[in-house]
Structure 1
Amino acid sequence: MRFSVLASGSSGNAIYIENDEHNFLVDAGLSGKKLESLFATIDRSMKKLDGIFVTHEHGDHIKGLGVVARKYGVPIYANEKTWQAMDGLIGKVPLEQRFQFDMETVQSFGQLDVESFAVSHDSVDPMFYTFHQNGRKLVIITDTGYVSDRMKGIIRGADSYVFESNHDVSMLQMGPYPWSVKRRILSDVGHVSNEDAAVAISEVVDLKETKIYLSHLSKDNNMKDLARMSVSQTLQSCGVIAGEYVHLYDTDPDRPTDLITV
């Protein structure tokens, strides 16, 4: 199992996952043209996509979904309420490409098992995904206001994480956003801060080599170096030394990571 975080941030999100049998995308939050360019950067083709898993209906996760679905005939997977919320936002998607992926269920695609789980975000029915193959585990969890004990139970012990580290609390509080937006981001249905991400990470990692890709960083309220430093320092205060067996990596809003083997 291999993956690349094609893009991550408020301007658009997309994550590519493949194994020897299938090629998938989690979210399509950029234009079709931009997604094609990102695929080319990692030497992959959207023509070979076997499906797109949708997390929720916000524009930075579905902007290019309808275009990609129609151009390439790709199956789209989302839960019932998310499908309803997307109606009118992504244009017409043929019925034969519309698949339901219920919350808290597992669907299997050959050797790959895909598990959905609920998060806490201000959309109708947001959910993210865990990918399992041959005892290896990849977790994608962004766009959540907090990480509950239930979520921690589902995501515990993964080999790789794409984990939200959205904002630095002080930068957000002192920044130019209206108070209503700040309050939303800081709420239980907003986004996880650097420090809260680190505390959650410390509670789910096992004593094995684990790669953490810090994702969905705010352009206005965070920086890569700050996120890595804050997460590293908070992990250390929780008894986890970044660099020993937990390794932190950056993601970018418009440049993909290398293909990573899980």
Structure 2
Amino acid sequence: MFASKVVTDKLTDQISFSILASGSSGNATLVETGDQKILIDCGLSGKKMEGLFSQVGRSISDVDAILITHEHSDHIKGLGVLARKYKLPIYANRKTWQAMDSMIGEVANDQKFEFAMETVKDFGSLQVESFGVSHDAAEPMFYIFHNGNKKFVMITDTGYVSDRMKGHIAGADAYLFESNHDVEMLRMGRYPWNVKRRILGDEGHVSNEDAGLAMSEVISDRTKRIYLGHLSKDNNMKDLARMSVTQTLAGEGIIVGEQIELFDTDPEMATSIFTI
């Protein structure tokens, strides 16, 4: 079922990225080096994805690979369309492939690649490390990007951040970090109790306060930016997420604006490309 693709070529130690979209309605991130452009997840329609790429002056035709975190629709909605249109290779672990194969339509076998959990793959100058998270999907995993001594981490869609996860993600230059909900907004909101219980559970999503506590245990002197991701449109607000995380970090002795900067993400507006 799976092809194999190995590329090795080292360039200058930089990683650039844009959080193209992040939220309950769709997720996608672009990571690039001098010789690689990698798309992580494709949770919006093909047309919307093309629009997001244009916002940052990039073209999907230049993408070298798509990496998938898990099979939920807000991460794979446009995957099949874009993979077929642009003939892009797709990487996911075996259980995720089994769960999403029938959801994305016909994709040629030579575009399907396996990326096992807890492994590292080289994409030109970029080394990509996969690690497991706790979410109600077949085998959800996220990614750490290395180029020389530079490190960018993506971690969303997890009910909690375990010590094992913290060991993987510690000491990055920049993070996309889940700050999904305010607990009181969720508890008082319109969602049925079974949905609230799912979000609050160990296989749901991380709250603002828990995100801040996890951040306090993994950031280091080299950490400059944290992007708050996957905010719930019903149970959170950008200002509230930033305030909650800022206060939680302050309680742990980490001052936002001095040691690190927090940045918003949006489900429809890409962040400017930033280079570490």
Matches within 5 A, 1:204-223: 204-223=218-237
1:180 partnered with 2:201: no
Counterpart residue number, 1:67:
81
1:80 partnered with 2:84: no
Does the aligned pair in 2 maintain the 1:23–1:49 contact within 8 Å?
A: yes
Which one of 29, 37, 46 corresponds to residue 32 of structure 1? 46
Counterpart residue number, 1:195:
209
Counterpart residue number, 1:259:
273
Counterpart residue number, 2:162:
148
Matches within 5 A, 1:87-102: 87-102=101-116
Q: What's the TM-score once normalised by structure 2's chain length?
A: 0.94
Task: Give the whole-Å Cα distance in 1 for the aligned partners of 2:75 and 2:218.
Answer: 25
CA shift for structure 1 position 208: 2.9
Number of residue pairs matched?
Answer: 262
2:216 corresponds to which letter in structure 1?
A: S
Does the aligned pair in 2 maintain the 1:145–1:189 contact within 8 Å?
A: yes
Counterpart residue number, 1:3:
17
1:188 corresponds to which letter in structure 2?
A: D
Could you list the per-position Cα deviations for residues 197-228 of structure 1 after superposition, in whole angstroms to 9, with x for gaps in the alignment? 00000000002342000000000000000000
**What SS class does the counterpart of residue 102 from structure 2 fall into?**
coil
Could you list the per-position Cα deviations for residues 132-164 of structure 1 after superposition, in whole angstroms to 9, with x for gaps in the alignment? 001000000000000000000000000000000
2:268 corresponds to which letter in structure 1?
A: D
Does the aligned pair in 1 maintain the 2:172–2:223 contact within 8 Å?
A: no
Task: Give the whole-Å Cα distance in 1 for the aligned partners of 2:75 and 2:123.
Answer: 23
Which one of 98, 119, 125 corresponds to residue 139 of structure 2? 125
Does the aligned pair in 2 maintain the 1:79–1:102 contact within 8 Å?
A: yes
Task: Give the whole-Å Cα distance in 1 for the aligned partners of 2:148 and 2:19.
Answer: 22
**What SS class does the counterpart of residue 103 from structure 2 fall into?**
coil
Which one of 206, 220, 225 corresponds to residue 239 of structure 2? 225
Could you list the per-position Cα deviations for residues 63-90 of structure 1 after superposition, in whole angstroms to 9, with x for gaps in the alignment? 0000010000000000000000002100
Counterpart residue number, 2:119:
105
Task: Give the whole-Å Cα distance in 2 for the aligned partners of 1:68 and 1:33.
Answer: 9
Does the aligned pair in 2 maintain the 1:208–1:245 contact within 8 Å?
A: no
For structure 2, the residue ranges without an aligned partner over 5 or more in a row are 1-14
204-213 vs 25-34, which moves further: 204-213
CA shift for structure 1 position 55: 0.1
Does the aligned pair in 2 maintain the 1:168–1:193 contact within 8 Å?
A: yes
CA shift for structure 1 position 25: 0.3
1:2 corresponds to which letter in structure 2?
A: S
Which one of 49, 56, 59 corresponds to residue 42 of structure 1? 56
Does the aligned pair in 1 maintain the 2:172–2:222 contact within 8 Å?
A: no
Task: Give the whole-Å Cα distance in 2 for the aligned partners of 1:237 and 1:18.
Answer: 35
Runs of 4 or more consecutive aligned structure 1 residues displaced over 2 Å after TM superposition: none
1:256 corresponds to which letter in structure 2?
A: A
Task: Give the whole-Å Cα distance in 1 for the aligned partners of 2:260 and 2:165.
Answer: 20
1:198 corresponds to which letter in structure 2?
A: G
